[in-house]
Amino acid sequence: LTVGHNPQHDFTSFDNIASAMLIIFQVMIQEDWTTLMYFIWDAFTIWTWPYFILLNGLGPMFAIQLFIVVVANKYQQVKAAQDAQDNAAVQLFEVKIGILQANLPRVS
């Protein structure tokens, strides 16, 4: 569907996934997103503003939550590995204490 020309020598478009992801990323980081919005207005219609406003408002929150989930998941993995290492150290200590107690002469 060709409604109008793509701005910036066909660089700004939603014609392929790479270009669309670049535009979405640029809007989410709020780097010169209004210029992109105006380019899309000129190429398509003025009624694209709700898309850009929603993407600008909800996109960064989604990205932050995704970052927090990744950090929390990695924290859980590291904590589980640390707990397993601590349990192994405690078990080894208990085995060594048991061997020492078994080798001690019994006093009657």
Task: Encode pLDDT of 59-101 as tens digits.
Answer: 889 989 999 999 999 999 999 999 999 888 888 887 877 777 7
How much is the pLDDT for 106?
A: 65
Residue 27: Cβ-neighbour burial (10 angstroms; 0-12, 13-18, 19+)? buried
58 or 4, greater pLDDT: 58
List the structure tokens of 39: 């380019």
How much is the pLDDT for 98?
A: 76
How much is the pLDDT for 95?
A: 80
List the structure tokens of 16: 């392929």
- Please compute Rg for the chain using Cα positions: 30
How much is the pLDDT for 66?
A: 92
List the structure tokens of 80: 């589980």
Per-residue pLDDT tens over the stretch 6-55: 776 667 777 788 888 988 888 888 888 888 888 888 877 888 889 899 98
